[in-house]
Structure 1
């Protein structure tokens, strides 16, 4: 149980075909959107293509991120804008689909039946399915820039961005007190 375990929603053959399609799409996207790059962790990704628009490249702004997302969608992929990348993949899964599977396989629990026992923390538009599903949700401060493009929002947004926001949440939980306006 201490070894890395991988579980996929798609069969091997479908994943291989999707990977080939993403690999063919990558140079097209990079040529179409100068200044973007593949995410530095792309060699370790199995299911998506992550186009960096502001992590290791100069910040290209939300209009570039939106255009990259549209290009993924024109190619038939699902795409979501995160805080630093535009992630594209072939399939109908998202973070919530994967989380349901993980909780069922790892702990034998029905995530829908136990959703009030979890706190979800996110930072961008690709977290909207999780924010919609869970009653206890937190966005770190950088989520504010994505609120206008999200179908669901976190119940509490921290003052701190990134890791500092996560620490803020952890401190609130450890202190046994709810966040502002009783969010937790």
Structure 2
């Protein structure tokens, strides 16, 4: 990981979209600071497509797609995207799995839920679980006392033993059945909604994140950025961002946004000779 200061103005001036995690990336201490939201508005106002890429549930994502200054949102670690067409006043949705597949996956996740709660004391079900369409979120530190690393590893192992995919965020272990992740649905969203081939345009997109479940995004985007708390996971074995901001959480996101906005304000000739 290199300091954010090493990311050149020329690269940042060419950015067309900002994809960003939410928890502990836009937020600080569990809240969304006014400065983070203002940064989203400023980036959108500058013509950039803003796309949260989150593990949070469908219920949250519907609200975010409607009310935030975003082009859309990828939720539940890639299970779907929602994008609100403000002109047509219509929500566009696409799920990775069919309705029948989601029903069967929910049956299996419900059984796995009881097994994890019984075998790993101190775990809890995430308070936002009722609003989820496709995954099971095990709370490991949001509304429960922080679990020791060994117990978190047990939760991850139980998901994997059942044939599920499991990812650790800064607050939850999320598990699901299906061959998708944040990156795979981001590709679909970019093609459907933004008209962008992500593999061809990845140099022109900045992804911002903070934790191991952002690994696929960090490794894919050459100009990926982490807020400073990503350093907490440097020994996790997950992919890390190319660049890291000086500050944690929302403050770090604002620093990244200010770099992008500042680079776009620099005249082209000055960038070329700077």
TM over 0.5: yes
Q: What does the per-residue CA deviation read over 1:35-86, in whole Å, with 9 as the maximum and x for residues that have no partner? A: 2111111111111111010111111132222111111001110101111110
Shifted more, 28-37 versus 66-75: the winner is: 28-37
Q: Which has the higher strand share?
A: 2
Residue matched to 2:226: 139
Point out which structure has higher relative CO (alpha carbons under 8 A, 6+ apart).
Answer: 2
What's the CA shift for 1:174? 2.3
| Aligned Cα root-mean-square deviation (Å) | 1.5
Whether 1:115 and 2:202 are equivalent positions in the alignment is yes
Q: How far apart in 1 are the matches of 2:254 and 2:155?
A: 32
Q: Runs of at least 4 residues of structure 1 off by over 3 A?
A: none
**Inter-partner Cα distance in structure 1 for 2:103 and 2:214:** 26
TM-score computed with the length of structure 2 as normaliser: 0.61
TM-superposed deviation, 1:172? 2.1
More helix by share: 1
Count of aligned residue pairs for this structure pair: 177
1:84 is aligned to 2:171: yes
- How far, CA to CA, are the matches of 2:107 and 2:93 in structure 1? 20
CA distance in 2 between counterparts of 1:153 and 1:82 reads 13
Distance 2:229 2:149 in 1: 13
> In the TM superposition, what is the alpha-carbon distance from 1:151 to its structure 2 partner?
4.1
C-alpha separation between the residues in 1 aligned to 2:220 and 2:175? Answer: 22
What runs of 5+ residues in structure 1 fail to find an aligned partner?
178-184
75, 81, 86: which one pairs with 2:162? 75
Q: Confirm whether residue 32 of structure 1 aligns to residue 119 of structure 2.
A: yes
Residue 248 of structure 2 corresponds to 161
TM-score (norm 1): 0.90
Aligned with 2:92: secondary structure?
coil
Structure 1 position 28, deviation (Å): 1.5
**Retained in 2: the 8 A contact 1:118–1:136?**
yes
User: What's the CA shift string for 1:125-168, capped at 9, x where partnerless?
Assistant: 11111111111111112211222223421011223222222112
